[in-house]
Structure 1
Amino acid sequence: MKARSLRITEATQGRLRRLNLYTALPPILLAAYVVVAVDVHAWWHALVLVPGVLAALVAFERWTANDIGRVALPCLVVAAAVWPLGVLVVGSPNAYWGVTSVASLAIPRMPRHQYVAAGALVAFVAGIGATRLLVESGVSGGLGAFQLLAGADDVLMKFVLIPTGVTLLVIVLSFVGERFYDIVQELEASREREAELAVIRERVRFAGDLHDIQGHTLHVVKLKTALAQKLVHSDPDRAADELREINDLVGDTIKQTKELAYAQRRLNLSAELENAKNLFEAAGIRVRITRESEPEAGVSEMLGQVLRETTTNILRHAQATQVRVTLTASGITIVNDGAARHGPPELRGLSALRQRLVADGGDLAVTLAAGEFTTAAAFPAGGAR
């Protein structure tokens, strides 16, 4: 169960990160373009700034694939080298963008010392930005004190305060985003536990039915066997009657047990619909039931068995987020998403039900398409034979 929960939560996180790739990549590309277009004033400036932009884009793409750890260090080294070169050589106040982007993706995923690393990032951005004052003071050596002070204020704003403030904001938002993914993981694990509990409750219900059938019978058989043993010599005819009753009782129990094992006991389709709805909702799965018309009496019980078996299969084998149930006069269709990409699992229960439906003149089809698993049972007009 642990392995399956981990697989499901990773799949959910993967979907969220891919969503981030589709929604956040355009503005990130725009920001990268602005960094290069605004600060490049000579062809060789691009040689300095573009590596930082590429490192940020590579790190972001790997982050969406949940693989940031493999590229974090090389991307961070490249982006961190671009910032001082941008400050001291190119005079680019936006060259911090690469190192801030890479670090904001990598630091929240660190196993420990996350806040120390975040503080070091902010200090690095601020400290490197402040070195621009050395360059400006050398260039402005001939200016007056007032002009020099005004120039220093402008440098502090563009190279220190704005980069540091943006870096701090981005790293805080990154920590918040990672906590969001943690919450999603916890909710997904909780949903999986609910689904497992739903299956366990179904098994307990089955065990209770089996106990009701066999428990009483075995108790009666024990009493009648003891009575027949006492009567076998004193009253052989009475003992023979008891043995015949035991034989009939055992035969009836075998029949009921077979009916239970193959879901052949009489079912109430409306009750099964309500039970399926409750089980899906308990597992965090959205469910929509459409009753176009009521099925004929001859097929209602069989459709209830199909619904019960399919409900169990969805809870056990799928990573469903929504289920659609459509009921017609002669059939039922259950569609769920979250189907396994490698193909549908082996569903022995549905295979046995299909044989019964075919024998009664109906059909049961299961299909997998576009990540959705469809179970459709139908009888021809006129119902089951």
Structure 2
Amino acid sequence: MDDISTGILFALLACLIVISGYFSGSETGMMSLNRYRLKHLSNSGHKGAKRVEKLLNRPDRLIGLILIGNNLVNILASAIATIIGMRLYGDMGVAIATGALTLVILVFSEVTPKTLAALYPERVSFTSSILLMILMKLMAPLVMFVNFITNGFIRLLGIRVDHNSDDHLSSEELRTVVNEAGGLIPRRHQDMLLSILDLEHVTVNDIMVPRNEISAIDINDDWKSISRQLTHSPHGRIVLYRDHVDEVVGMLRLREAYRLMLEKNEFNKETLLRAADEVYFIPEGTPLNVQLLKFQRNKQRIGLVVDEYGDIIGLVTLEDILEEIVGEFTTSIAPSLAEEITPQGDGSFLIEGSANIRDINKGLKWKLPTSGPRTLNGLILEHLEHIPESQLSVVVSSHPMEIVELEENRIKLVRVYPRRKK
């Protein structure tokens, strides 16, 4: 070293600092990459992404390579800085060189390159991967030897070394990804994706048409009454039963009934029953994602929901499930949320008692409980634990509510105020 001039040592020290910065920035850039975007770019044929993905398949070797190179460079830089310090300042030069080199490495070899790599991980990683691939081949024996010792020590600590990283996302993690997409995905599409994720948390009980609202025809009624109901029915399919709804005999497509009416053959109850399709039953509590697959597998579009005793409690159609994903259809027969909720000048809302709680929460951004009753009427009755005989005021889930109108044994209209601030 005595034969090497101080100027050359300074130049060599500067090169080592740059190399140290390269290794530090490469490490941060590689670890900061979005693995899913990287996989997408690699599948699209991006050469830089393919190189990086290959390096990241064995992160222990990649980190080992970077740290070996970084430590060798820093140790050599420390030795050169010490020589320069002693030449310029004698014995005091050791302390001066140590302090100065620490500051220089911290700023130019650690903080600055790592900050840039964190801000632009793809640019840094794709570029640095060219040299890293070469170094990985040249230093493979040394890297494997160091990793062998390291992995062995880790096993002694009782930690399992597994190089197969689990990159699978849970539904909640995927929900966060969709929410963070921002302008990359239109808001409407984000809502649809989130609705698909919600299907596993929503059951047929939450969206079904309740038993008392099912459009059905008693096949034992007189023929004129049956014909009138067929003519005026707004639905495409109608339930046929005997005496009471639990005695279902078939599901009739009105298009088929109209075809029979136009034919010259006799149109009566017997032909109507023969034209009816077999009824498809759905167990209560079935998640919507499961039921959607069952509809597809069984080539069905409509089904009757039954409880554990086999009694019919509601009706669900394929369109009901699709509406959970894409929103209400303009052709829907059921009342829309806008028809069930009327804003008032004082900030309150007049809401139909039959309004679905989940729909209210969606439309007004509220957090009424959905684990129990599915309608506002049911929620209030559960809170009161009795059927009110007159108008009264209650507070449910911090929402002041006034019962405005009662009809028989149910609450028909409620005035609901926004949630009280605690």
Superposed pair shares fold, TM > 0.5: no
Structure with bigger helix share is: 1
Q: Normalised by the size of structure 1, how large is the TM-score?
A: 0.29
Structure with bigger strand share is: 2
